[in-house]
Amino acid sequence: MDITAVVFGATGLVGKELVSQLLRGDEYKKIIVVVRKYLTISNHRLEQVQLSEFSQLMQLADKLNADTYFCCIGTTIKRAGSKENFRMVDYAIPQKIARLAEKLSVPNLVIISSIGANINSSNFYLRTKGEMEKSVREIYTGNLNIVRPSLLMGRREEFRFRETIAIAFMKLFGWLFVGTLKQYRGTSVRDVAREMITLSKYGDKD
């Protein structure tokens, strides 16, 4: 069977690793990536679909039938330029992806959120993530799995000073985070990608 996965956010830190693991593994026979610019990857199992604006996502419905959608969409307020722009990415785009998954009856949807996501949080970032999760649950009726990593540990193309300091701190003192604090340890992007693939096959173990 041609089991197919679609990856949104394939140029990001987790998205790149996820695509790499999917191509190395045998869980999916076909991997479709939805990108603004084509990836410099050549693989007979990889198909690239270009999308300049997510407002046009529904127009690509006939190209995006799949068994699993992986949503690795995410940015930072600093990179987005404003809270409003951040919300357009981290809240509105996952909504659009969930609507398309629901329309096409895609069986599985795996989305990255953040540890501490909560609609009642006083932190704008975490509140937005919590609202995104709530909205996606209301839109999509299939098998939904949400991954909530802590600080992502991996090599980015762009330099983020605060994140670099946080990663250095976590490498030195992460072992001190035990018990209930263990969930706040830095998370390797390899582990996040691996968990997303596992969840797409077996669902949440909890």
**108-151 per-position pLDDT tens digit:** 999 999 988 999 999 999 999 999 999 999 999 999 999 998 76
User: Per CATH, is 4-150+188-202 categorized as 3.40.640.10?
Assistant: no
Residue labelled with tokens 């976590």: 170
Q: What is the pLDDT of residues 162-171, one digit of tens each?
A: 555 444 444 5
For residue 116, the tally of other CB atoms under 10 A from its CB is 16
Q: Within its chain, how far is the Cα of 152 from the centroid?
A: 12
Distance CA 156, CA 49 (A): 23
> Is residue 12 classed as helix, strand or coil in its secondary structure?
coil
pLDDT of residue 158: 55
Can you read off the two tokens belonging to residue 103?
Answer: 């329309």
DSSP state of 52: S
> What pTM, to 2 d.p., does this model score?
0.83
E strand or H helix at 102:
helix 93-103
- When mean pLDDT is compared across 24-28, 168-172, 192-196, the lowest value belongs to 168-172
The rounded distance, in Å, linking the Cα atoms of 20 and 190 is 10
Q: Residue 183: how many CB atoms within 10 A of its CB?
A: 13
pLDDT tens profile 54-69: 999 999 999 999 999 9
Q: What average pLDDT does the chain have? A: 86
As given in the structure block, the two tokens for residue 52 are 């300049």
- pLDDT for the residue 201: 84
Q: By C-alpha distance, which of 77, 75, 30, 82 is closest to 54?
A: 75
